[in-house]
Amino acid sequence: MENKGLLQSRELYQYLLETSVYPHELQPLKELRDVTASHPCFCYRATMATAPDAGQLIAMLLKLISAKKTIEIGVFTGYSLLLTALTIPDDGRIVAIDQNRDTYEIGLPIIRKAAVEHKIDFIESEALPVLDKLLEENLNHEAFDFAFVDADKLNYLKYHEKLLKLLKLGGIVVYDNTLWGGLVALPEESVAEEMKAGRHFTIEFNKLLAADTRVQISQVPLGDGITICKRLH
């Protein structure tokens, strides 16, 4: 498997996966991971899927807060979406938002086979209009337990502001790719041109999160870096 983590040793990362992650990975998740990795249309894009070690932590967070109502921004083929659907109760609900239904439908047969499709409300759209529509209804304010964001870095801050209004006190939002493959720590002149914009937005977002007194944060070097935010007030 491609090393998505920031560990310097590929062997150590593989050890972590084989010892602690893969033995606990549910069969539908393994199947979806394999389908994504082998799909001829993706090639390098298969690395866009949530890393399984990060997924393991997300599942634990969902269970720790007994999450029932969640939001997912950025679905791709649905690894983290399926993981969430398998973890929350049978009457749980996931609002899943992505501009590309085609990639979602690659994982949909596996989601259906796992008998969790009824928990998912997939919306093919940009995320901001959907979040705005949710906020138009007062019943949605402080109604969600958990959110996962793996989407365009340009809008992370806008997502953050809206999600804090939708999350309950004590609710958790997890942002993916917040270490940008380690490029956040490198001098700008050593970064490839096509990666500079994402690096810039990620650095600015990390600074804003660190200064945000409304949340307690923990940044973890799993996958491409994830930041966990718990809403305090």
| pLDDT tops 90 at residue 224 | no
pLDDT digits (tens, 9 = 90+) for 119-174: 999 999 999 999 999 999 999 999 999 999 999 999 999 999 999 999 999 999 99
Looking at residues 15-34, what average pLDDT do you find? 94
Looking at residues 101-130, what average pLDDT do you find? 97
Look up residue 102 and give its amino acid.
D
pLDDT for position 30:
96
Looking at residues 29-50, what average pLDDT do you find? 76
Percentage of the chain exceeding pLDDT 70: 93
SS (H, E, C) the chain: CCCCCCCCCHHHHHHHHHHHHHHHCCHHHHHHHHHHHHCCCCHHHHHHCCCHHHHHHHHHHHHHCCCCEEEEECCCCCHHHHHHHHHCCCCCEEEEEECCHHHHHHHHHHHHHCCCHHHEEEEECCHHHHHHHHHHCHHHCCCEEEEEECCCHHHHHHHHHHHHHHEEEEEEEEEECCCHHHHHHCCHHHCCHHHHHHHHHHHHHHHHHHHCCCEEEEEECCCCCEEEEEECC
Which two tokens mark 39? Answer: 């799909």
**Which of the pair, 185 or 40, is modelled with greater confidence?**
185
Which of 89-98, 131-140, 168-177, 179-188 is predicted with the least confidence, judged by mean pLDDT?
Answer: 179-188
**CA–CA distance from 102 to each of 33, 92, 106 (Å)?**
16, 24, 7
SS (H, E, C) 157-179: HHHHHHHHHHEEEEEEEEEECCC
pLDDT for position 63:
98
* 8 Å CB contact between 227 and 175: yes
Give the integer Cα–Cα distance in Å for 88 and 68.
5
| pLDDT tops 70 at residue 200 | yes
Give the integer Cα–Cα distance in Å for 20 and 18.
6
Q: How confident is the model at residue 44 (pLDDT cuts 50, 70, 90)?
A: very low
pLDDT for position 10:
82
pLDDT for position 41:
67
> What torsion, rounded to 10 degrees, do the Cα atoms 139, 98, 74, 44 define?
170
Buried b / exposed e along 97-130 (16+ C-beta atoms within 10 A) = bbeeeebbebbbebbeebebeebbebbeeebeeb
